[in-house]
Structure 1
Amino acid sequence: MSKILTSIKRHFRFFIIGFFVLYFFLGIFIFRHYGISWDESTSRDNGLIVYQYITGQNSNLLTYRDRDYGTAFELPLVMIEKETNVTSSLQIYYLRHLLTFLFFFVGVVFFYKIALGRFGPGIAFLGVIFLVLSPRIFADSFYNTKDIGLLSGMIIAVFTLLSFTKKPSFTHVVFHSVACAFVVDIRLSALIILPITCGFFITDTFLLSARHLWRFRIVMLSLFLVLFFGFAVLFWPYLWNNPMGNFMIAFSNFSHFLRLGDTVFYLGNYIPDKYVPWHYPLVWIGVSTPLPYFTLFLLGVGFTVHKLSRNIFGFYKKNREGLIFLTWFFGPLIMVIGLNSTLYDGWRQLYFIYPAFLLVALIGLEGLLSYTKKRYLLKIVVLVVGIVSILNVLRFMTLNHPYQNLYFNELAGGLENAKQQFDLDYWGLTFREGLEHIASNDNSKTIPVFFAHGHKRNIDILPNDDKKRFVVVDSPQDAKYILSNYRWYKDRNNYRWDEYLYTTPHPKFYSVTVDGVEVMTVFKPAGGTL
């Protein structure tokens, strides 16, 4: 047995490499399976406006409605699009989905490196499994450039943070300042990386370093801040003509984002997005995260707080990474709740704290393994329950591909109950399947369709010959087909046509179901156009 274990340990690195290779090719194989999310066209427009500005084509950025959006990730996507001469809408979105996945893949690699430095290869690999087998994150990693771009960038920034605080060389200063500037220029919520960097760097200086090095370390920290601000301006063209003034405008708008002006469906009620209760992100985290990870996270918090209360300074010296992970998770969460920031569409704006959530969960796993080390029966029970639970997550992801973004755990009471409590397909990704079914079953040269509620650009994910046949109309009465993802379907105060759409019986032409629950329906009104 010992020889077998020794052989496994010796070859474990190749196993890890093999896993990443398989995961890479899985992404390459399935990136074309996903539809267009609600924000994708707008996100591309944001990058396109900046691209036109920096290439001297026009100065529309200066008056553009969303000019204060960070485009550190969107701009490279557009630049690659232009360099590869991709012109059809289908190929443009395929390219974006591929590049978004590749950036997330890089983030997963850096996540493994962070976990490896704290836990060792076995637990670090389980952390990667947890991250990849997080249904909502998995799906979003192909089309959600904003939130997954931020998540991936934050992982890289924390990795460079750990390197910088341990060994503040000039190389580490440059890498960390670039990583921080890049992620902050994706979305300003990543600014949390600055107080984390400064706080832990200064604490390390006076607790862990030789006293004669404090001047050198303070110089390195000052250099980091200078380089960070320089790179932040460089990566964000909106700041070029007025760095401080435009930054303050962007920060003010970010703190209380009010441009959506819609309602969210939360705990069975429609609530204006600016009035969502403080517990909104907490409940969403609770019902949309796989229960095994959530349980381990709670254990990780408990183990950390218990050890911290016994010996603060001793714990810091041995477990500073754990405190960084906790600060990474709870810092933004407390700020969002304290500032009453506008949230909608679940907790996706906070996805960048999810890697920290999993790293704390790994602390819980480490503590649980230690506790059950000599309790063999308990260890077997824990392993069986854990494996079965994770396999159940994998089952959902496989059977309901490509709609992993509609995952809810057992606390939500099943997807049918979740449908009565929370927004489901707020991205509108299911519309693609409905459109494809219409296109393959209707040979009409012109097909008027109405989305309730979707974006007119949903047809951009279709092959050009099919796309040309669809005409998106503004009224369900003018449509041959009505596609509904059931968003806001009970909120009749906002949309005058809801009564026609949902109270008048219309024949169902096609439905998309997830776990047996209808999440998108194509209606074909008897008196429809044509």
Structure 2
Amino acid sequence: FYFEWFHLQNLILGLFLFIFSYSVLYLVYRDGSRAVIGPILLFFTPAVTGHIPANPKDIPFAVIFLLGIFLISYFLKNPRNRSVEILTLGVVFGIAQSTRIVGFSLFITYFLLNLFRSVANREKVGETFLNSTIILMLSFFIWVLSVPFLGANFFANLIYIITETAGFQTWNHEILYMGKFLSKEERPWHYLPVLLSIQLPLTILFSLASGLLLVVRKKLRYNFSHPVFVITTIVLINFIIYFVLHPVVYNGIRHFLYLAVCLVLLAAFFLIDLYNRLKTKHKFVLWGAVSAYLFFTLVRMIHLHPYEYIYYNELTGGLRGVDKKFESDYWGAAYKESAQRVLETVKQKGVKDLKVYACDNQFAVVYYSQFQYELVGRSRDADVIICDTFKEKLREQTEDVTYQTTFPVVSEIKREGVPIHIIRAKQDFSGLFK
């Protein structure tokens, strides 16, 4: 197994996020200069793009989910070939559902908007139900092919999958939220909305707020086949699912990256339409303000690299403002850098038989150690401890903290002046890292 190939595969797959986001906007504007705003805003959303190289779960789902949004918008706008529509949507919806059960919200959105169109245009509602049923059955067929367990006893196992997905009984860890460690049962209802509001860039939040205000004041109008209408419906359905089922969520917005992508695209539409409504002098002001903020975000992304996903916006004071209040390096990507620092010390000082304890992500530490030091399973057996700040804070509350004096800090990995990873060593070994 090579991490480098793993990251490359993820990057290639993540490329389709930008392709599909461009396609959704091009479907409306037929103008590349405006459609490219979607991929640009998406690129400058570090909480999403920072996940692409290392996240083999949520990014692929976001890709197929975004493809589903594009296809729904396309077929609502061009309802000509029903056979192609049924086959394509059935397959894509099935893949989405088999990846994450919340992918079923794509079918719900399609069905509701199709039903609305049939009623509004006085078309045959029965035909809409028939076509939707065929799509649903085809999506279930794809789902069963992907998850054979479901086909063994469809309805019973479907209920099991839904309840298990929401409750996730096998996950029993702590969540760091607003400075407190919470169990999954203690997680408040506002967990997701708050994290979205502090991890999405201000450009996205401003565009969403401005667009919603203009829609409420009827300055902007979108028909049911417009992607804005489609995305808004999907976002509302997913928030309803979140509030009703109260699923287990951790690692910030990681499980809802697909929803963050939807909000970014919604912001792109609103920003473009707001720009088109402004007078020329105001257009320059908006263009200049957005460009300046994107440049500022780029600078922050460079400083955060390769841990862009730990980004928090300026409402919180950035990473410094959320230190010890929210999770940062929950992927444990910095274990690579810590492991390499220890390896560099071992090679430079010629240390033999060094024992290292890693609080998490032991597999990566072994990989990047090049087998030049030994990884041990207990901290008391170690000469060196490498730990992310989340686990470090957790150890302070749940374990004997005397290790902080017996294992002083010898090195820290920082971003924006905030430690995200800590290396500790016994007193006898602390001099090696100077």
Normalised by the length of structure 2, the TM-score is 0.91
Q: Does 1:500 align with 2:402?
A: yes
Aligned to 2:247: 341
Aligned to 2:260: 354
Q: Does 1:179 align with 2:74?
A: no
Question: Structure 1 pair 306/121, CA: closer, same or farther in 2 (3 Å)?
Answer: farther
Query: Counterparts of 1:229 and 1:304 in 2: how far apart (Å)?
Result: 37
Aligned to 2:57: 146
Shift, 1:226, TM fit: 1.6
Query: Counterparts of 2:155 and 2:429 in 1: how far apart (Å)?
Result: 55
**Residue 481 of structure 1 is aligned with which of 361, 372, 384?**
384
Aligned to 1:14: none
Aligned to 2:10: 100
Whether contact under 8 Å (2:275, 2:286) holds in the other structure is: no
Q: Find the residue that maps to 1:110 and give its secondary structure.
A: helix
Deviation per residue, 1:230-272 (Å, 9 max, x gap)? 1111121322422332222111111222322122111111111
Give the aligned residue type for 2:402.
Y
Whether contact under 8 Å (1:449, 1:470) holds in the other structure is: yes
Shift, 1:493, TM fit: 7.8
Query: Counterparts of 1:207 and 1:461 in 2: how far apart (Å)?
Result: 60
Give the aligned residue type for 2:376.
V
Give the aligned residue type for 1:133.
F
Unaligned regions of 5+ residues in structure 2, if any? none
Aligned to 2:102: 189
Query: How do residues 393-412 of structure 1 correspond to structure 2 at under 5 angstroms?
Result: 393-412=297-316
Query: How do residues 210-289 of structure 1 correspond to structure 2 at under 5 angstroms?
Result: 211=123, 216-289=127-200
Sequence identity of aligned pairs in percent? Answer: 20
Query: Counterparts of 2:104 and 2:39 in 1: how far apart (Å)?
Result: 25
Deviation per residue, 1:424-452 (Å, 9 max, x gap)? 11111101001011112204453321123
Query: Counterparts of 1:414 and 1:110 in 2: how far apart (Å)?
Result: 30
Deviation per residue, 1:458-489 (Å, 9 max, x gap)? 22542xxx432343223222112111211143
Question: Structure 1 pair 273/470, CA: closer, same or farther in 2 (3 Å)?
Answer: farther
Give the aligned residue type for 1:379.
K
Whether contact under 8 Å (2:357, 2:382) holds in the other structure is: yes
Whether contact under 8 Å (1:239, 1:246) holds in the other structure is: yes
Query: Counterparts of 1:257 and 1:457 in 2: how far apart (Å)?
Result: 24
Aligned to 1:199: 112
Give the aligned residue type for 2:248.
T
Question: Structure 1 pair 496/525, CA: closer, same or farther in 2 (3 Å)?
Answer: same
**Root-mean-square deviation (CA), in Å?**
2.4
Q: Does 1:295 align with 2:202?
A: no
Query: How do residues 370-381 of structure 1 correspond to structure 2 at under 5 angstroms?
Result: 370-374=276-280, 376=281, 378-381=282-285
Shift, 1:277, TM fit: 0.8
Shift, 1:527, TM fit: 4.7
Whether contact under 8 Å (1:123, 1:362) holds in the other structure is: no
Deviation per residue, 1:17-66 (Å, 9 max, x gap)? xxxxxxxxxxxxxxxxxxxxxxxxxxxxxxxxxxxxxxxxxxxxxxxxxx
Whether contact under 8 Å (2:174, 2:183) holds in the other structure is: yes
Aligned to 1:157: 68
The alignment of Structure 1 onto Structure 2 pairs a total of residues equal to 425
Give the aligned residue type for 1:389.
Y
Question: Structure 1 pair 395/486, CA: closer, same or farther in 2 (3 Å)?
Answer: same
- Give the ranges of 4+ consecutive aligned residues of structure 1 lying more than 6 Å apart after TM superposition: none
Q: Does 1:456 align with 2:362?
A: yes
Aligned to 2:21: 111
Give the aligned residue type for 1:473.
V
Normalised by the length of structure 1, the TM-score is 0.75
Q: Does 1:524 align with 2:425?
A: yes
Query: Counterparts of 2:158 and 2:338 in 1: how far apart (Å)?
Result: 42
Question: Structure 1 pair 149/446, CA: closer, same or farther in 2 (3 Å)?
Answer: farther
Whether contact under 8 Å (2:387, 2:422) holds in the other structure is: yes
Query: How do residues 382-421 of structure 1 correspond to structure 2 at under 5 angstroms?
Result: 382-421=286-325
Give the aligned residue type for 1:501.
Y
Give the aligned residue type for 1:449.
V
Q: Find the residue that maps to 1:307 and give its secondary structure.
A: coil
Whether contact under 8 Å (2:406, 2:427) holds in the other structure is: no
Give the aligned residue type for 1:248.
I
Q: Find the residue that maps to 2:411 and give its secondary structure.
A: strand
Query: Counterparts of 2:325 and 2:107 in 1: how far apart (Å)?
Result: 37
Query: Counterparts of 1:303 and 1:179 in 2: how far apart (Å)?
Result: 33
Aligned to 2:338: 434
Question: Structure 1 pair 457/477, CA: closer, same or farther in 2 (3 Å)?
Answer: same
Whether contact under 8 Å (2:27, 2:74) holds in the other structure is: no
